[in-house]
Amino acid sequence: MQRLRTFLEQHSDNPALINVIDGLMVACKDIAHRIQLGAAAGVLGSAEQENVQGECQKKLDVISNDILKDVLAAQPAVKGMASEEEELPVAANSAGSLLVLFDPLDGSSNIDINVTVGTIFSILPAREGADAASESAYLQPGNAQLAAGYVLYGPSTILVLTLGNGVYSFTLDPRIGEFVLQREQIRIAADTKEFAINMSNQRFWLQPMQTYVGDLLQGEEGPLGKRYNMRWIASMVAEIHRIMTRGGIFMYPYDNREPNKPGKLRLMYEGNPMSFLVQQAGGKASTAFNDIMDIQPQGIHERVSVVMGSANEVETVERYHQ
């Protein structure tokens, strides 16, 4: 079984990137341990405060955020970091060459009911002379990413990673405390009969999305000519991991509840890293109109509509929106 560090050294000639990913996994092992302890460690429940998104934070949101920040700050290669949980980025090491963005605990509404959650991360190059305490340093499109991945905290703890040369999966072996390689060059099936969307928001979607989902629900008798199954876990990490395992399409489209926001999910912390992974696995990631990774960000907490997964199904959604 190949350990993560060995894999990184064989697949990257960037020592800084190797060390930062290695450090991120030290933090994720700590988070995984606390999640496994759950109520026994007093980490469940609300932190009784809101994050910059106006969302009520869970205790583990705050704990995970602090763990990641502490570990990354100790990495000489990290020039700065930005978290979904905090309003502003944080400068770390002035001589660093990398910027790290992360969602410390995706799907945290699932924590108290013991359902899958995860950590998402994106690594960007730090531009020459960039101020890592300023948003402008991080406003790079998704296609500038050097690496991206997520760690899924479920019955087993799994890292899914891309360095831009395919997608690989590692499982944390608790017997040795290391992530070991399990799947190489993961590919997402181009076709699917499985979709994931929050149907409670249907009345707020654009008409093309309402029409598409309505056609899905007609099954074999509808214009798409096949029976679909719906899944919804309310954790993007879990939804995308299912797609990485057996194909499918995940959608969190634009809706008109907040017309000035193009979507609910965050471009820099969720949309871009997951798009990088999906595209590297042969899938497609779109706003329903354009590729997510081509978007030039205007702010580190910018939102985006998301349609990603099996390439042919994503293209079908785009045709509905043309």
Query: Tens digit of pLDDT for each residue in 63-111?
Result: 999 999 999 999 999 999 999 999 999 999 999 999 999 999 998 777 7
> Is 103 assigned to a binding site?
yes
Please report the pLDDT score of residue 55 as a whole number: 58
Least confident window among 29-43, 127-141, 184-198, 206-220: 29-43
Q: How many CB atoms lie within 10 A of CB 262?
A: 16
What the chain holds in terms of domains, given with CATH numbers, is: 4-183 (3.30.540.10), 194-321 (3.40.190.80)
Please report the pLDDT score of residue 108 as a whole number: 77
Task: Find the mean pLDDT for residues 300-307.
Answer: 97
Task: Find the mean pLDDT for residues 31-51.
Answer: 69
> Is 184 assigned to a binding site?
no
d(CA 106, CA 270): 9
Please report the pLDDT score of residue 57 as a whole number: 64
Tokens representing 248 are 């499918």
For strands 117-125 and 98-106, give the pairing: antiparallel
Residue pair 182/169 in contact (Cβ under 8 Å)? The answer is: yes
Distances (CA, A) of 76 to 19, 20, 182, 204, 217: 9, 9, 30, 46, 52
d(CA 202, CA 199): 5
Tokens representing 45 are 């429940």
Residue pair 281/160 in contact (Cβ under 8 Å)? The answer is: no
Confidence of residue 24 (pLDDT cuts 50, 70, 90): very high
Please report the pLDDT score of residue 178 as a whole number: 97
> Is 310 assigned to a binding site?
no
Tokens representing 115 are 């359902």
**DSSP conformation class of 85:** T
Please report the pLDDT score of residue 128 as a whole number: 86
Task: Find the mean pLDDT for residues 302-318.
Answer: 98
Token look-up 């634009």 returns 254
Please report the pLDDT score of residue 86 as a whole number: 93
> Is 109 assigned to a binding site?
yes
First to last CA, the chain: 47
pLDDT in tens, 259-288: 888 899 999 999 999 999 999 999 999 999
Q: How many CB atoms lie within 10 A of CB 277?
A: 27
- Output 258 or 248, whichever has higher pLDDT: 248
> Is 255 assigned to a binding site?
no
Confidence of residue 45 (pLDDT cuts 50, 70, 90): low
DSSP string, 116-146: -EEEEEEEEEPPTT--TTSGGGG---GGG-S
DSSP string, 43-92: --SEEEEE-TTSPEEEHHHHHHHHHHHHHHHT-TTEEEEEETTSSS-EE-
> Is 106 assigned to a binding site?
yes
d(CA 251, CA 309): 9
Please report the pLDDT score of residue 60 as a whole number: 83
Token look-up 């070991």 returns 180
d(CA 117, CA 114): 9
pLDDT in tens, 141-198: 999 999 999 999 999 999 999 999 999 999 999 999 999 999 999 999 999 999 999 9
Q: How many CB atoms lie within 10 A of CB 226?
A: 11
> Is 83 assigned to a binding site?
no
How many residues does the structure list for the chain?
A: 322
Task: Find the mean pLDDT for residues 190-217.
Answer: 97
> Is 166 assigned to a binding site?
no
Token look-up 């309505």 returns 214
> Is 23 assigned to a binding site?
no
Residue pair 202/210 in contact (Cβ under 8 Å)? The answer is: yes
d(CA 69, CA 100): 10
* The pLDDT of residue 47 is above 70: no
For strands 229-231 and 178-183, give the pairing: unpaired
* Residue 122 C-beta-side C-alpha neighbours within 13 Å: 30
> Is 80 assigned to a binding site?
no
Confidence of residue 16 (pLDDT cuts 50, 70, 90): very high
Please report the pLDDT score of residue 227 as a whole number: 96
* The pLDDT of residue 52 is above 60: no
